[in-house]
Chain A
Amino acid sequence: MQIQGSKILMECLLEQGVDTIFGYPGGAIIVVYDELYRYKNKIRHILTSHEQGASHAADGYARSTGKVGVCFATSGPGATNLTTGIATAYLDSSPVVFITCNVAEPLIGKDSFQEVDMIGISMPITKSNFLVKSADRLADTIREAFAVARSGRPGPVLVDILKNATTESANYEPLSLEEHATHGSLAMLIHRASHDFQEPEPNSADLDKLGEMIAGAKRPMLICGGGVVLSRAQEEFTAFAEKLDAPTAFTVMGCGGIRGRHPLATGMIGMHGSRASNMACAACDLLIAVGCRFSDRVALDTKSFAKQAKIVQIDIDRSEIDKNVPTAHHIIGDAKSVVKRMLKRVTQHDNREWKEQVFAYPTEPQYSLTGDTLNPRQICDACSRLAPEDAIIATDVGQHQMWCCQNFKFDYPGQLITSGGFGTMGFGLGAAIGAKIGNPEKTVIHMTGDGSFRMNCNELATVEYYKLPIITIIFNNNTLGMVRQWQGLTLGRRFSQTTLAGRGPDFVKLAEAYGLSGSRVKTAEELEKALKKALKCRHGYIIECAISIDEMVRPMVNDGCPIDRFLMD
């Protein structure tokens, strides 16, 4: 049937099961928003204060639901405001389809009003991107974009649609999701592939080899990376760890891949990893990393990393193999399907001595609880104790982020929403909005620092308008704490441009200005009271926790140092 491009877009979104979009309108995308007006009973649009907020919200929605997030923005500044959000999604392999509109074809290349080459800009930060110049290419492109975003190693995809493609009409044939693979460009992609796309099988010889390596190992260790979370493979991965009886560390992105309270969990690994994790890594003789790319924050000094061990990498993305750390063996495939098949190839192990050696070290940071100010541990503990167990934690970036990863015991994949790879300050509030929209039945807590929160606190307007009962907890130490920590430890305590004291705002007044409530707390009792109030509250609530400016993330291994050489405990 002949229908207008904007309508084709809506129909294609419905084909994908999309019912929620985050975005911001503008001139070039105006026709799409006009269509959205007609589809408002089928597709809910969440209007944010800024395109960046929308991009993080779509990302947070994707991470917490496992579905593909969708984000709209107009041309020019609307599109460029997405870039930080796109890069954030790219570095953490989050499936988001970004749809931007550009000026009409006759205006392209003329430096027209709000024209920008978004395809060029987004090339290094998307899994793939597409330019749609005419309405007849819309349906096929949208179908391909969603397939690419969600399949294999997930990632963001950008579709830039010229305005004329939204106004002109073209033929549209409805196609169910199951039929997409046999039509258009997806059919061509599949035709040229060398394996079965529906059920890609990990190589069985590779699986057998790992089975032999496990049989010969005396001190095996597992790393749970973001791939376990993305593949929602907690059950299989945990069974694998139990069968191997192997100490299991997790990365920031791997939080929730194995339950934090599991007796085999050694805590986080890397720069701010626990002693147990990092010491185990240095002492193990077989290290199996699942869905982990050994980033510099995990591996630190790549030359000495797990130097006694044979390293095995299980990843869906072949280009991650041997990229940062050379490996002895690798298996390519989805974490869930590889681990599931490995379960059949290993017998039950008993590594009592090895575990005793590892768990002699602490699995979490040691705090002295003597100061008069609140300490980060108390804040996390209060949240764990009072909030429902399945509460989603969305964080910003910096010290508070590490404190959350270290102190919360995450129970399931998708419970922690954090910008691990790109380290985007200002990610948290938008992400929390997306997580809450995607999981209305769950409590969502946004943990942030005073620095991060100031970046995108304009989204409080979104929290208020949509009546989202998101609890924001600000670790206020009046400084950009993580940078200050480095300045203190490595740059002779020259705190260049990191002190925020006296720079405002009054966060409680800010909450009120947006129509929300807030409390400022200084002690554990005050925090508990405020938290209880916030949990009962039906709208957004801000709790500002005063903590010491000198509070540090412990333990810490310095950048590029061997993983077991701690700079401080």
Chain B
Amino acid sequence: MEQVRIHTLAVLVDNCAGVLSQVTRLFSRKGYNIESLAVGTTDEPSTSRITIEVRTDDQRAMLLCNQLRKLLPVYSVKLLEEDNEIRRELVLIKVAAEDSERRNQVIQIANIFRASIIDVSQTTLTLAVIGAERKTEAIQKLLAEFGILEMVRTGMVALERGAHTINEDTKEKDEFDYGKNVL
């Protein structure tokens, strides 16, 4: 059994109805729990990019990619390498801050983490922080002492470092296109 760890999959898809359920279905079918999922359109409005994080071993991650590549609306899939990826997620946290002393303490923490205060009320502050899990978990831990009223994560998004992109034509991509060859 190979080592189980978090893998990041970048999936470029046709922005059509049902594509997200086609993609996520594969994960539940194979019994993997999706740790994180983020979807949005790209610079080309007809294509969306899905970033999926899944906990599994290397071999199974590769098989998952292969199953994804088989889907008709999937253009390409890239399994990002741990030491060659940039991962970020946006977290919004609403913290209880009933008096000015507490508000100041929260603002100080926000400054240290370069988080921004995006909403204030008489009794609360809402922070937005961007980072990978080490940073967001650290601020979350500190803010827990004040009382987190609610929070939300966007899900991790990731790109490969350097000049390489998901849009490149590779021999492997070519091979996958054969099976769905449409003529």
Q: Which of A128, A190, A198, A323 contacts B66 (CB 8 A)?
A: A323
The 8 A CB mask of B164-175 against A (1 = contact, 0 = none) is 000001011111
Nearest chain A CB to B62 CB, angstrom units? 8
Say yes or no: A319 contacts B182, CB within 8 Å. Answer: no
The 8 A CB mask of B60-91 against A (1 = contact, 0 = none) is 00110011011010010000000000000000
A316 interface contact, C-beta 8 A: yes
Docked CA distance A214–B11 (Å): 37
Docked CA distance A457–B78 (Å): 49
A420 interface contact, C-beta 8 A: no
Count chain A residues whose beta carbon lies closer than 8 angstroms to a beta carbon of B: 34
Residues of A within 8 A of B169 (CB): 194
Residue of A at shortest CB range from B179? A317
Docked CA distance A323–B62 (Å): 9
A176 interface contact, C-beta 8 A: no
Q: Known contacts A120-B21, A123-B21, A194-B169; is A151 also within 8 Å of B182 by CB?
A: yes
Q: Can you pick out 18 interface pairs between chain A and chain B where the beta carbons lie within 8 Å of each other?
A: A123-B25, A124-B25, A144-B182, A147-B182, A147-B183, A151-B181, A153-B179, A181-B183, A193-B177, A200-B181, A203-B171, A203-B175, A316-B179, A317-B179, A319-B179, A322-B62, A322-B63, A323-B66
Docked CA distance A258–B67 (Å): 30
Say yes or no: B183 contacts A119, CB within 8 Å. Answer: no
Residue of B at shortest CB range from A193? B177
Residues of B within 8 A of A152 (CB): 178-182
B41 interface contact, C-beta 8 A: no
Q: Which residues B95-135 have CB closer than 8 A to chain A?
A: none
Say yes or no: A333 contacts B178, CB within 8 Å. Answer: yes
Nearest chain B CB to A381 CB, angstrom units? 40
User: Which of B62, B66, B178 is packed against the most chain A CB atoms within 10 Å?
Assistant: B178
A352 interface contact, C-beta 8 A: no
Docked CA distance A131–B16 (Å): 11
A-B pairs with lowest CB-CB distance, top 8: A152-B181, A317-B179, A319-B66, A332-B175, A318-B175, A194-B169, A197-B183, A128-B72
Nearest chain A CB to B19 CB, angstrom units? 11
Nearest chain B CB to A388 CB, angstrom units? 36
Docked CA distance A482–B175 (Å): 39
Q: Which residues B37-75 have CB closer than 8 A to chain A?
A: 62-63, 66-67, 69-70, 72, 75
Say yes or no: B63 contacts A323, CB within 8 Å. Answer: yes
Contacts A151-B180, A152-B179 known; 18 new A-B pairs at CB < 8 A = A123-B21, A124-B25, A131-B18, A144-B182, A194-B177, A197-B183, A198-B183, A200-B181, A316-B178, A316-B179, A317-B178, A317-B179, A318-B176, A319-B70, A321-B66, A332-B178, A332-B179, A333-B178
Residue of B at shortest CB range from A326? B59
Residues of A within 8 A of B62 (CB): 322
Q: Known contacts A318-B66, A319-B67; is A190 also within 8 Å of B22 by CB?
A: no
Say yes or no: B69 contacts A127, CB within 8 Å. Answer: no
Count chain B residues whose beta carbon lies closer than 8 angstroms to a beta carbon of A: 28
Docked CA distance A332–B179 (Å): 9
Residues of B within 8 A of A192 (CB): 75
Say yes or no: A318 contacts B178, CB within 8 Å. Answer: yes
Nearest chain A CB to B92 CB, angstrom units? 31
Docked CA distance A537–B17 (Å): 53
Residues of B within 8 A of A144 (CB): 182
Say yes or no: B70 contacts A197, CB within 8 Å. Answer: no
Q: Which of A195, A198, A323 contacts B174 (CB 8 A)?
A: A195
Residues of A within 8 A of B (CB): 119-120, 123-124, 127-128, 131, 144, 147-148, 151-153, 181, 186, 189-190, 192-195, 197-198, 200, 203, 316-319, 321-323, 332-333
Residue of A at shortest CB range from B65? A319
Nearest chain A CB to B134 CB, angstrom units? 34
Say yes or no: B21 contacts A197, CB within 8 Å. Answer: no
Residues of A within 8 A of B75 (CB): 192
Residues of A within 8 A of B29 (CB): 124
Residues of A within 8 A of B69 (CB): 318-319
Residues of A within 8 A of B22 (CB): 123
Say yes or no: B17 contacts A131, CB within 8 Å. Answer: yes
Q: Known contacts A148-B180, A152-B180; is A317 also within 8 Å of B70 by CB?
A: yes
Residues of B within 8 A of A318 (CB): 66, 69-70, 172, 175-176, 178-179
Residues of A within 8 A of B181 (CB): 151-152, 197, 200, 316
Docked CA distance A333–B18 (Å): 29
Nearest chain A CB to B30 CB, angstrom units? 11
Docked CA distance A131–B19 (Å): 12
Residues of B within 8 A of A332 (CB): 174-175, 178-179
Residues of B within 8 A of A124 (CB): 25, 29
Residue of B at shortest CB range from A152? B181
Residues of B within 8 A of A127 (CB): 72, 180
Say yes or no: B72 contacts A148, CB within 8 Å. Answer: yes
Say yes or no: B178 contacts A200, CB within 8 Å. Answer: yes
Residues of A within 8 A of B175 (CB): 203, 318, 332
Residues of B within 8 A of A131 (CB): 17-18
Residue of A at shortest CB range from B68? A319
Residues of A within 8 A of B172 (CB): 318
Residues of A within 8 A of B179 (CB): 152-153, 316-319, 332
Residues of B within 8 A of A119 (CB): 18
Docked CA distance A6–B72 (Å): 27
Nearest chain A CB to B182 CB, angstrom units? 5
Residues of B within 8 A of A151 (CB): 180-183
Docked CA distance A321–B72 (Å): 18
Say yes or no: B174 contacts A194, CB within 8 Å. Answer: yes
Residue of B at shortest CB range from A324? B63
Docked CA distance A462–B177 (Å): 40
Nearest chain A CB to B165 CB, angstrom units? 14
Say yes or no: A189 contacts B182, CB within 8 Å. Answer: yes
Residues of B within 8 A of A190 (CB): 182-183
The 8 A CB mask of B142-183 against A (1 = contact, 0 = none) is 000000000000000000000000000101111111111111
Docked CA distance A418–B178 (Å): 26
Residues of B within 8 A of A153 (CB): 179-180
Residues of B within 8 A of A319 (CB): 66-67, 69-70, 176, 179
Residue of A at shortest CB range from B172? A318
Nearest chain B CB to A181 CB, angstrom units? 5
